[in-house]
Amino acid sequence: MVTLTIDRHIPNCETITQEPTTMSDAPSPHLLPEHPVVDAALRETIARDYQTFAKQGLPTNLEAYLAERYHIDVASTYAGLPITNPFGKASGQLSMTARQVEEDVQAGLGFVVLKTVIAQDETGAQTMGEWAVKESRMVVEPITSQSGEPGWTVSWKGRGWWGTFDEYLQLIRATRQIAADGNTLIVPSCKYHLPTPEEDAWKESEYRYTTAKILEAWQAGATTNEPMPLEKDFSPTLAGSDRSAQQAKILEWLTTVPRLIRAGLADAAQVRVGLKVFNALFDDDFQLAMLQAIHDGETRPDFFIYGNRLFDPTREFDGKRGIAYGGPDLSDRNLRIMSRFQTECDPPLPWSATGDIHSGKMALEYALRGARSFQLHTFFQMPNAHYTATVGNKTQKALHELYFHPEQGLIMWMLHLAGVLGLPRGGVRLADVIGRGGC
């Protein structure tokens, strides 16, 4: 059985310490064992497919292949909307152009979150304009966690969309049209005004104008009537900003933003509001308080994303001091937080996982805690030597690893969980694994 030890206490805001989190003494948060327990014949089948598809490329209809070959159903949901598979691209430098998204649609991603645009009002004024930084240089580099585990992170100085707002709206229209004939969900992302601890007023005009324009572009890009998923990005760089120096102000953001996004819409049901929760420079208890806040507010979001990258005010990159980072420390903290939170809110809002998802096994660690989809960024830009596949673009090569790796792949570990959780051998559904970490 999968077991999980949970601290059921989430303190009130007043009792939360403001000391930065330390993780070096924390036990491993992983639920899954080091090696999967799967029938030898199935292991050989997966290994053969891994080698075959490394040279030939993935099947055209991968989901159908998984259903026929392994009796695995990977369909899931994002923001309550159906997706054919749970893997998507997180917002960032890899989803800034129509060409990038076209490659992801061809590769078969379940969803793509576009680069985060900075909100503006009717005059073009942006209160969060300091996040519209033109900086495209990124470095993928090894990183070692506080526990000594090796991993990878991406370092860069950029923040949000630095093009014009009209160019972003055109990107939404173009990518929606590209995805119209496929099964990839397109998700806009936006950073709206967040008042500083010294400010009381919210720039509501930014919320009204930006949301209406994004929705208009979304609806123009395709003929479907489905609601638009929208991620409100609480960037990891906020953790190092004076804006997030007070815990009470952060909690105010989380409970106010959903109402402001919906306020300017003729029909609030047209938009599914998701909050991308960041890792603040406080301890684990405050992370739990943030999650509790979005569930307890009068106007809850429709879903949330957890949890954005860690921020190190002393870490340097390209002459800039204070940058966000990922790797095993990030996944360790996220898994630890969501393990504790899993039983605190019943039922929790739907959520999408992000943070050091470098394997199908890691994706399922998040799924066991309730995640219904998985957003990746670093793993889609690893050095080519990190992928076994020799054909296809990096998205396709990454998916090959995520599904078929004979030790770390999703197929292997879903079959393992089928045995552990007593799931039907005739058909293993990802939906039956989600949230089962306490079983």
For residue 155, give the H/E element and its range. Answer: strand 150-156
The pLDDT of residue 197 is 87
Encoded tokens for 117: 């645009």
DSSP state of 379: G
The pLDDT of residue 22 is 34
The pLDDT of residue 240 is 65
Lowest mean pLDDT, pick from 4-18, 132-146, 272-286, 383-397: 4-18
What residue ranges do the domains of the chain occupy?
Answer: 28-438
For residue 68, give the H/E element and its range. Answer: helix 62-70
* 28-438: CATH superfamily: Aldolase class I (3.20.20.70)
- Closest residue by Cα to residue 352 from 16, 26, 78, 56: 78
Mean pLDDT of 354-366: 98
Q: How confident is the model at residue 239 (pLDDT cuts 50, 70, 90)?
A: low
Mean pLDDT of 294-299: 88
- Closest residue by Cα to residue 277 from 153, 203, 375: 375
Lowest mean pLDDT, pick from 99-103, 144-148, 260-264, 424-428: 424-428
Cα within 13 Å of Cα(209), Cβ side = 17
Q: How confident is the model at residue 42 (pLDDT cuts 50, 70, 90)?
A: very high
Mean pLDDT of 87-96: 96
The pLDDT of residue 12 is 32
For the stretch 406-416, pLDDT in tens is 999 999 999 99
- CA 62, 64, 69, 73 dihedral sign is positive
For the stretch 199-238, pLDDT in tens is 889 999 999 999 999 999 999 988 778 999 999 998 766 7
The pLDDT of residue 158 is 67
Q: What is the CA radius of gyration of the chain?
A: 21
Lowest mean pLDDT, pick from 286-295, 320-329, 341-350, 428-437: 341-350
Encoded tokens for 195: 């008042």
Phi-psi region at 71: left, alpha or beta (left = phi > 0; alpha = psi -120 to 50) = left
The pLDDT of residue 298 is 81
